[in-house]
Structure 1
Amino acid sequence: MSFTEAVRMSLVAKYATFSGRARRAEYWWYSVLYLMATIASVGAGWAAGIPLLSALVLPFVVPMLAVSVRRLHDTGRSGRRMFIALIPVAGPILYLAGMTVNSDPGDNRYGPSPKAVARPAG
């Protein structure tokens, strides 16, 4: 999955879709976009002398939460597992480590594997 495919999937096709599964590439490419948007809004706010962070990043928050939940679903975990990131110090490390885990092969309780759906038959 390319950067543009991941962004299109997260921002257009599945903007607020918390069900289903998301591949690692979709999660990490969208995370790169989210980080770039945050840095750009902080820089613009700093240059203008006003806090623009919340106004410019707000449209990117819901898709970030949605792709995170779908990524957890892809590894066979509940979306509630995202709350582990709220534990001071170790939480964010455990959360990010969980996002690097390979997908469950085949179908799981959250749906079919996006790798199997994306792979051409033959």
Structure 2
Amino acid sequence: MSFGTAVRTCLRNYATFSGRASRPEYWWFALFVVLGSIALSLLDGALFGYEPVRVAPGVVEYQSPSVLSGVFSLAMILPILAAGWRRMHDSGRSGLHLIYPLIVMVGIGTFAAFAEGLDPLLTGGPGAIFDNAATLILGLASIVFFLSPLLVIWWLTRPSEPGPNRFGPNPLEQAQ
């Protein structure tokens, strides 16, 4: 699949979360989104100029309003999610695997809020034990959170399942 074909296919399937997407289809489209964001950021700077922003004493950054790149990124959220969802289907996984880091983040936040809410109730000996256990659990969960995007990228790079699977026919075999 060529770059142009992949972009057309993904934009045609803008919000289609069923079916399968081959590796070239997903990665060419991901490259299109990255290159489009960079190009539109440069165009934003050319059209709207750069303004100096003091970020620290003696440190100035030049920033441009990201109007065009922001609109492009917002418009591409749904198709890149749909393409990733279909890519997971192609490797035999549920599309929910794509949002695994988000699920981990929500779990960590929920546990942290729960642990913080119990803190006033547990004072003294049991509270110290609970605080240490909660810190250990949050530390381990943070490691899982930082590794989870790498796991998702690895899943996105896995080869297609040969032949049809529960999500549909193999898109590479179908094109031949």
Tell whether the structures are fold-level matches, with TM greater than 0.5.
Answer: yes
Structure 1 residues 69-122: Cα deviation after superposition (integer angstroms, max 9, x where no partner): 000000110010011233532121111111110011111110111121012xxx
Identity %: 41
User: How does 1:1-122 map onto structure 2 within 5 Å?
Assistant: 1-12=1-12, 14-47=13-46, 48=48, 49-52=64-67, 53-86=69-102, 87=104, 88-119=145-176
Show structure 1 runs of 5+ residues with no match. none
The RMSD of aligned alpha carbons is 1.5
Indicate conservation of the 8 Å contact 1:42/1:51, yes or no: yes
Q: Structure 1 residue 40: deviation in Å? A: 2.2
Task: Report which of the two has the higher share of strand.
Answer: 2
Q: State the 4+ residue runs in structure 1 displaced beyond 3 angstroms.
A: 44-47, 85-88
The two structures have a TM-score, normalised by structure 1, of: 0.88
Number of residue pairs matched? 118
